[in-house]
Structure 1
Amino acid sequence: MSRWDRLDRVVDTRPLRASPPFRRLWLGGALSTASGQLASTTVLFQVWQLTGSSAWVGAVGAATAVPTLVCGLLGGQLADTLDRRRLAVATTAAALAAALALAVQGALGSSSVVLLLALVVTQTAAGSLGAAARRTFVSALLPREQVPAGVALTHLTFQAALLLGPLSAGAVLAVAGPGAAYLLDAAALLVVGVATVRLPRAAGGGGSPRPSHLLAGLGAAARQTWDGWRLVARRPALSGSVALDAAATVLAMPVALFPALNAARFADRPATLGLFFSALAVGGLAAGLATSALTRAQRPGVVQLVSAAVWGLALAGAGLADDVAVVLVLLAVAGAADSTGVIARGTLVQLDTPDAYLGRVSALENVVGVAGPGVGNARAGLVSSWTSPGAALVSGGVACAVLVAAVAATNPVLRRWRPPAS
């Protein structure tokens, strides 16, 4: 058995060996994802340094959530209308320009929080417009049997970035300041742009007729976006996948409860609070490093159902636990379940969606994945303020598990769905 065969028994690396364009895009994306987490942490640090206000720090969330929602949905329609490669190149270039502007204001010590947030909105909007197009490249560059492995490898870099990005931000900020952190993000985006330019023409996709004037274009965009949503509604495997993601994020998102839970049960120790965040990322990374069996799973719908149920029940258990070690283990289990479910859902979306709709469906999946946690954290905060952080965790986790059971009972297509033959 070769070393590659031994490695593939743990992490399926076949896409990296089989497709040089995918390998270049994956490496660039890994750098960009890590640098994006570094930049996000730097923005929070800089806003706090400029204002000393938690309200302004909270405004960073709005500065990313709104353009993600609006531009993410528009980007899905554009990905099914325009050449996807050109769209990805153009939006990466715009994000790179915003990153360079952030680096300049950081290096010059700008005191304008409004300018900082405006640049964050610009960069987020650019990235969101191209997100759906970039998500289609996995199925465009890889054979169908390797798409699950490609999705898993992409998600693995995301989990690693969640863990390493904020850690590296502290070192960069201490040594070189905000300007250098943003400059690293710009360098990573440049690598992504070069890798995208070198994609084969077959990865472009798109190509629907373009309307002749603005009003017709807006009407066509709305109709095409609606057509994408109708497709999801008509395909039980897709609608069930979206429903499971919404259940997990809206009903059981735990992050907003960590500070209150730490204060109520663990003496408000900062180190413990940091461990709560790290435990989710460690669990997700551990699952991402052991995905070979998952990428070959023949029932990704069942994997999603089990993963969403484990996520909810693990978080409910964390809400009942008084021992910090037990809480950390349960959070790691929840993180692993979340990572597993994301990979299974990405596989199903890539393989069950016709190419002509893939941009719009990928955009809907992305928007639910980004907006859902925000709504879920708001729900958790409200429930905690009325009851307690433990009660909010337990009620959300149980509600998630109940909804998962309902989806399992009423959606046989999702339970039985198998990847189509190559």
Structure 2
Amino acid sequence: MRALLPDLAPWRASADFRRLWVAGLITNFGSFLTFVALPVQLKELTGSAAAVGAIGAAELIPLIVFGLYGGAMADAMDKRKLILWTETGQGVLCAVLLVNSLLAEPLVWPLYLVAAASAALVAVQRPALDSLTPRIVAHAHLPAAAALNSLRWQVGGVAGPALAGVVVAYAGLGWAYAADLATFAASAGLALGLAASPAAHEAARPSLRSIAEGARYAWSRKELLGTYAVDLVAMLFAFPLAVLPFLADELDARWSLGLMYAALPAGSLLVSLTSGWTSRIHRHGLMVVLAAGCWGLSVALAGVMDEVWLVLLFLTLGGCCDMVSGIFRSAMWNQTIPDALRGRLAGIELLSYSAGPQLGQVRSGGVAALAGVRASVWSGGLACLGAVALLATCLPRLMSYDVRTDPHAVRLRESRTADGPGEKAGAAGSAETAPS
């Protein structure tokens, strides 16, 4: 059992990692309050499903634009300051939603404006967070850090929506927005205690040229391109969330819809809670491919089952597979990408991470309209399985990747080892040295 439990080495060794982890957990719970409250308020104000669905369209373009530019900013600026200011900005947006909800006649347009602005802030903050982790966590502990970060998100993904539903139903929208505002204030307070994380002295200023430099580096690393491509096709073909309400109806089990939504994050949480084994795996690329293929197979099986409990079982297994893929993708990025390029590569990763599910919703809904709900689910799973197999054939460097021998990983590991004593001391003592 000890071998299966999460590896807590990053938590014990780095005070900054502990701060970021706790801050992320607090913010995650608060964000789910708004995640549920915003579409509920739009539904109440407009009565239109199309108006609620338009939230995704309002968020997609800022994610794409600011994801790339945010990656360049993360490489050129102090990551601590970026995290602090974006967290503060999210709090301001929550305050706007709170004020709007208290009006006698709340307005609709601020909801879309806040959704778009929040997506832009997330796109700026995410590369800074992702590229900060390799600075504050020892190289050997990065897979464990990825698993712990995933555990934080999955706890929020399972418990957050349930808490949000209770708050919105019994306390009201205003209380949901106010609670989210309080979580951002707490998270910003924790971010104040982080040690400064300035850019490397050779970092270029944010520009189209610097973004293009990151893209060229990603193109030169076919194993990294493989991780992006595998994640993109997995979400494009086998992301069934848009049709789950219709699937529950077809199974004559409307009561199961909440369980269907919870099944994927529950599977991910199960892997995170038993992730100790991941630190002993070295063929990360192979694991990414196998896990993505099993994700597609699980979704396909969920689409052909007539028994709702079997559907829930295979959706949960799909969540397990998706989490395994995510852990090893993160490990490959953090253990091989040079410090000066981490932000820009995290911005590119954000595009695949964000665009895949959005496009997957469109695909699953469109196929369901043409061929039926069950066909949309199982055909998407099989298409994912085939696309992943094709990528595995076309990307041998992804399949052969081994963290023990990969030259990029070896170079970065030796560099971190050479700086290890000072780096570890700085990480562990960041509470005492952080500027106020």
TM-score (norm 1): 0.92
Q: Which has the higher mean CA deviation after the structures are superposed, 335-344 or 87-96?
A: 87-96
Alignment of 1:198 with 2:193, yes or no, is yes
Amino acid at match of 1:204: P
Q: Which has the higher mean CA deviation after the structures are superposed, 399-408 or 21-30?
A: 399-408
Q: Which residue of 1 aligns with 2:420?
A: none
Q: Are 2:101 and 2:174, in contact at CA under 8 Å, matched by a contact in 1?
A: yes
Distance apart, 1:65 and its partner CA: 2.0
Distance apart, 1:283 and its partner CA: 0.9
Q: Which residue of 2 aligns with 1:294?
A: 278
Alignment of 1:221 with 2:207, yes or no, is yes
Q: Secondary structure at the match of 1:136?
A: helix
Q: Which residue of 1 aligns with 2:60?
A: 65
Q: Are 1:232 and 1:239, in contact at CA under 8 Å, matched by a contact in 2?
A: yes
Q: Call closer, same or farther: CA 1:210–1:75 in 2, change over 3 Å.
A: same
CA distance in 1, matches of 2:233, 2:103: 44
Q: Which residue of 1 aligns with 2:30?
A: 35
Q: Superposition RMSD on alpha carbons, in Å?
A: 1.8
Which deviations, in whole Å up to 9, do the C-alpha atoms of 1:322-350 show, x marking residues without a partner?
Answer: 11111111000001101111111111111
Q: Are 1:103 and 1:179, in contact at CA under 8 Å, matched by a contact in 2?
A: yes
Q: Are 1:34 and 1:161, in contact at CA under 8 Å, matched by a contact in 2?
A: yes
Q: Are 1:107 and 1:178, in contact at CA under 8 Å, matched by a contact in 2?
A: no
CA distance in 2, matches of 1:416, 1:109: 62
TM-score (norm 2): 0.89
Distance apart, 1:194 and its partner CA: 2.3
CA distance in 2, matches of 1:134, 1:363: 11
CA distance in 1, matches of 2:332, 2:100: 42
Q: Which residue of 1 aligns with 2:108?
A: 113
CA distance in 2, matches of 1:208, 1:178: 47
Q: Which residue of 1 aligns with 2:242?
A: 256
1:239 to 214, 217, 225: 225
Q: Are 1:80 and 1:207, in contact at CA under 8 Å, matched by a contact in 2?
A: no
Q: Are 1:236 and 1:411, in contact at CA under 8 Å, matched by a contact in 2?
A: yes
Distance apart, 1:210 and its partner CA: 6.5
Q: Secondary structure at the match of 2:207?
A: helix
Distance apart, 1:146 and its partner CA: 0.7
Amino acid at match of 1:274: G
Distance apart, 1:186 and its partner CA: 1.8
CA distance in 2, matches of 1:161, 1:360: 27
1:334 to 318, 335, 340: 318
Q: Are 1:76 and 1:132, in contact at CA under 8 Å, matched by a contact in 2?
A: yes
Q: Are 2:271 and 2:323, in contact at CA under 8 Å, matched by a contact in 1?
A: yes
Distance apart, 1:91 and its partner CA: 1.5
Q: Secondary structure at the match of 2:17?
A: helix
Q: Return 5+ residue gaps in structure 2 as ranges.
A: 404-408, 414-436
Alignment of 1:310 with 2:294, yes or no, is yes
Q: Return 5+ residue gaps in structure 1 as ranges.
A: 1-5, 212-219
Distance apart, 1:54 and its partner CA: 0.6
2:121 to 119, 126, 131: 126
CA distance in 2, matches of 1:344, 1:204: 27
2:362 to 378, 385, 388: 378
CA distance in 1, matches of 2:104, 2:346: 38
CA distance in 1, matches of 2:104, 2:169: 15
CA distance in 2, matches of 1:39, 1:192: 16
Q: Which residue of 2 aligns with 1:409?
A: 393
Amino acid at match of 2:46: T
Q: Call closer, same or farther: CA 1:327–1:228 in 2, change over 3 Å.
A: same
Work out which structure has the larger RCO, using CA pairs closer than 8 Å and 6 or more positions apart in sequence: 2
Amino acid at match of 2:199: G
Q: Call closer, same or farther: CA 1:350–1:52 in 2, change over 3 Å.
A: same
Distance apart, 1:410 and its partner CA: 2.8
Q: Call closer, same or farther: CA 1:263–1:270 in 2, change over 3 Å.
A: closer
Distance apart, 1:261 and its partner CA: 2.0
Q: Which has the higher mean CA deviation after the structures are superposed, 9-18 or 120-129?
A: 120-129
Distance apart, 1:300 and its partner CA: 1.3
Alignment of 1:102 with 2:86, yes or no, is no
Which deviations, in whole Å up to 9, do the C-alpha atoms of 1:95-132 show, x marking residues without a partner?
Answer: 11111222222244552111222122222222221211
Q: Which has the higher mean CA deviation after the structures are superposed, 396-405 or 175-184?
A: 175-184
Q: Which residue of 2 aligns with 1:156?
A: 151
Distance apart, 1:207 and its partner CA: 5.2
Q: Which residue of 2 aligns with 1:320?
A: 304
Q: Secondary structure at the match of 1:10?
A: coil
Which deviations, in whole Å up to 9, do the C-alpha atoms of 1:63-91 show, x marking residues without a partner?
Answer: 22222222112101111122222122221
1:340-379 aligned at under 5 Å gives the runs: 340-379=324-363
Amino acid at match of 1:14: A
Alignment of 1:11 with 2:45, yes or no, is no
Q: Secondary structure at the match of 1:99?
A: helix
Q: Call closer, same or farther: CA 1:207–1:116 in 2, change over 3 Å.
A: farther
